[in-house]
Structure 1
């Protein structure tokens, strides 16, 4: 099996001695070498789904099946770089010496646009550059899947737009498999090959985003129609 498969996944937490069901039977196919976007409101269960899929937590019921190669890396909303390490050492942090191929690391740093900043420390980088370093660190680990939990949410509009373009460029060049969580419909439409809408712990809808030549234009009729349909799904309760 290629990719990841979730089968009837349930998860609950105890809040003030009261069980709260977060995921209520999620079944989902997550293909490899694509960007699958999990979209939904705050509190709908999308981050829990990401954490379960990435192995940070265990399911209460159901099953998660992985392809033969299962190795995950995470990129969070905050870069979470080591402040005492420069870019190069942050990118290679956690890698064994035998896996620190200089040419490969140089190509990854180039892919995220940080050439010339290898010796810079996090405090010397902008927020966007720090997030690029975090993405480079994930790529250097050579994961089968990168789990991204609203990685651009804390960035300003212009930096966020730049980082979205960088991610698409890197993913296209590396053929990375990405599970990306966001509450932004526009971001989902710009990045996703596939969009999964989560509402109240359930899969509400799924969309296969058509391939386009060049950069996606969200003002095209196709994307306006998709956005309208997604909004209708998010505004409709069953």
Structure 2
């Protein structure tokens, strides 16, 4: 497994002939086999950071250093499934025949809890099930890192909570390396082994959350204290 080092990353966009700085010297280590959460308010540079790390965009300066050869997969806020393809066909979409091992694909579909829905079309699935299919598609690619850009933001509270638990189960089962973007403090506390708070294009605070994810209770004193500290860093109060 390969981790990632982000070294002095800068990124500026040109908007209406004006340069808008988005990232202003990001330095961050993303360990392999863990979930690193990028947390911040809208417009702070979270998605830009994820897109640069995953290779969808190029930084103006700085270095993104992988520890070894790598492949990345993405899961976005919308499932982005092909509506004319079944779950199975969506999961294998983009894979070569050599990569499409029926046993492995079935195992991936089973991992995300969609066994029995292989022949279903996206319109026949709930929002949560569609996102499971999107996660299965990412896993089938066997990536080094999965980049997840607010994948549960459009789901209702109960479905979102269920999907968070499913993601943790999948991550632990496969020791997946995940970079996860969110603006929800609770979601960051539930999922993250490491939480990077981004403000004005810089890492303002970095937290290591040592408690095992499956044992975390957001009502415990330790988690409440951590949440208060994060809120203060995000200037929400």
Q: Does 1:110 align with 2:110?
A: yes
Aligned to 1:89: 89
**Aligned residues of 2:191 and 2:213 also touching (Cα < 8 A):** no
Structure 2 gaps, min length 5: none
Cα RMSD (Å): 1.4
> Cα gap change, 1:101/1:174 in structure 2, threshold over 3 Å: closer, same or farther?
same
Residue 69 of structure 1 and its aligned partner are, at CA, apart by 2.4
1:150 aligns with 2:150: yes
Instruction: String of CA shifts for 1:114-145, please: whole Å, max 9, x gaps.
Output: 01000000010011000000000000000000
Residues 1-238 of structure 1 correspond to what in structure 2 (within 5 A)? Answer: 2-212=2-212, 214-235=214-235
Structure 1: stretches of 5+ with no match in the other structure:
none
Distance in 1 (CA, whole Å) between partners of 2:55 and 2:144 is 13
The 2-side partners of 1:213 and 1:8 are apart by 30
Deviation per CA, 1:142-190, whole angstroms, max 9, x where unpaired? 0000000000000010110000000000000011000000000000000
Does structure 1 conserve the Cα–Cα contact (< 8 Å) formed by 2:190 and 2:213? no
Aligned residues: 237
- Residues 24/124 of structure 1: CA separation in 2 closer, same or farther (3 Å cut): same
Q: Distance in 2 between matches of 1:216 and 1:115?
A: 29
TM-score (norm: length of structure 2): 0.97
What does the per-residue CA deviation read over 1:52-90, in whole Å, with 9 as the maximum and x for residues that have no partner? 000000000111111212100000000000111100010
What's the offset of the Cα at 1:213? Answer: 7.4
What's the secondary structure of 1:43's corresponding residue?
coil
| Cα distance in 2 between the residues matched to 1:197 and 1:68 | 26
Q: Distance in 1 between matches of 2:64 and 2:74?
A: 18
Structure 1 position 210, deviation (Å): 1.3
Q: Which moved more, 1:18-27 or 1:206-215?
A: 206-215
Q: CA deviation at 1:211?
A: 2.3
Q: What does the per-residue CA deviation read over 1:207-233, in whole Å, with 9 as the maximum and x for residues that have no partner?
A: 000123733110011100110110111
Instruction: Report the TM-score, using the length of structure 1 for normalisation.
Output: 0.97
Contact conserved, 2:168 with 2:213, CA < 8 A, in 1?
Answer: no
The CA distance in 2 between the partners of 1:108 and 1:101, in whole Å, is 11
| 1-structure distance, mates of 2:92, 2:2 | 27
* DSSP-derived class of the 2:38 partner: strand
